[in-house]
Amino acid sequence: MESGVGIQHFMILSTLMFFIGVYGFLTRKNLITILLSVELILNSVNINFVAFNKFLYPENLGGHFFAMFVIAVAATEVSVAIAIIISLYRKLKMIDVENVNEMKY
């Protein structure tokens, strides 16, 4: 079993997750789903970190730490983002990203 799952599989998984995330980020209109897509991107990176750590440098834990770090940052990010989304909802009564263009020229 060990021999069956190699680093390639992890990378394929993370690449898929990454591009699904990117696709979601570019196409979804709902801010919450966009946030979910961002989470997908972040977590695809986390998978990469852990996988590379496991396969290339098993003796140290840098990749794991980085993954933990990303998770922590993602958590704060989500909390800030949700706060923004909620206040946007209060203001606009919806969370469609195309209508949130207050920051243009």
Partner 1 sequence: MENFLYTLIIPVILFFSFIFTGLSGNKFKPAVSGIICTATVFISAALSYWTAYQYFFLHGKVNGVYQIINVYKIEWLKFNETLSIDIGILLDPISVMMMVVITTVSLMVHIYSIGYMKGDSGYSRYFAFLSLFTFAMLGLVLSVNIFMTYMFWELVGISSYLLIGHYYNKPSAVSASKKAFIVTRFADLGFLIGILLLSAFAGTFDFNELTNPNGNAILQSASTTFMGLSAISWALILIFIGCAGKSAMFPLHIWLPDAMEGPTPVSALIHAATMVVAGVYLIARLFPLYVFTSPVALEVVAHVGAFTSLFAAIIACTQTDIKRVLAFSTISQIGYMMVSLGVSGYGAEEGLGYMASMFHLFTHAFFKALLFLGAGSIIHAIHTNEIYSMGNLRKYMPLTHITFLTACLAIAGIPPLSGFFSKDEMLVAVMEKNIFLFAVQYVVAGITAFYMFRLYFTVFWNKDKKYEHVPHESPNVMLITLIFLAVCSALAGLIPFSQFVSSNGVPFSTHIHMNIAIPVVGIALAGILLAYALYKKESLSPEKIKNSLGVFYRSAYRKFYIDEIYIFVTKKIIFNLISVPVAWFDRHVVDNTMNGIAYTTNFVSEKIKYMQSGQLQQYAFIMVAGMILIFLLTLYLIIV
- Binding-site member from 58, 76, 93, 103 for partner 1 (CB under 8 A): 103
What's the min distance (Å) between Cβ of 5 and partner 1?
27
Query: Using the rule CB under 8 A, is 20 a contact of partner 1?
Result: no
Place of tokens 């590379």: 52
Q: Which of 27, 30, 79, 87 binds partner 1 (CB under 8 A)?
A: 27
Residue 39 forms beta bridges with which residues?
none
Q: Which is nearer to partner 1, 21 or 63 (CB)?
A: 21
Position of tokens 């993954």? Answer: 67
Residue 76 tokens, joined: 């704060």
d(CA 68, CA 45) in angstroms, rounded, equals 11
**Interatomic CA distance for residues 36 and 24, integer angstroms:** 8
Which listed range, 8-16, 20-28, 62-70, 80-88, lies at the site for partner 1 (CB under 8 A)? 20-28
